[in-house]
Amino acid sequence: MTDLSTMDPETKAILDMMATQESKPLSDTSPAEFREQYRATSEMMDGTDIEIDCTEDRSIPGPAGDIPVRIYRPVVSNTDLLPILVFYHGGGWVIGDLDTHDAACRHICGDAGIIVMAVDYRLGPENPFPAAVDDAVAAASWVGQHAEKIGADPLKIAVGGDSAGGNLATVVCHHMRDTDGTKITYQMLWYPAVGQEEGKSSSSTVEFATGFVLQMDTMDWFEAHYGAGRDITGEAQYAIIRSNHCGNLPPALLLTAGFDPLQDDGQSYGRKMQAAGVAVDFAHFESTVHGFLTMGRVIPAAVEALTLSAAKLREAFA
Would you please indicate which residues are annotated as catalytic (active-site) residues?
163, 260, 290
φ/ψ (deg, to 5) at 295? -125, 35
Residue 110: which H helix or E strand, with range? helix 102-112
Beta-strand runs (E) in 22-81:
54-60, 67-73
A 10 A CB-CB count for 128 gives: 19
Q: Residue 130: is the preceding peptide bond cis (ω within 30°)? A: yes
- Give Cβ neighbours of residue 178 (< 8 Å, ≥ 6 apart): 245
Cis amide linkage into residue 125, ω under 30° from 0 = yes
Q: Residue 299: name the closest of 47, 111, 4 by CA.
A: 47
> What is the number of other CB atoms lying within 10 angstroms of the CB of residue 75?
12
Helices (H) and strands (E) in the chain, counts: 9, 8
Please state, in angstroms and rounded to a whole number, the distance separating the CA atoms of residues 139 and 221.
Answer: 27
CA distance 118 to 70: 5
Q: Are strands 67-73 and 54-60 parallel, antiparallel or unpaired?
A: antiparallel
Q: Which residues contact 318 (CB under 8 A, 6 or more apart)?
A: none
* Side chain identity at residue 100, one-letter code: T
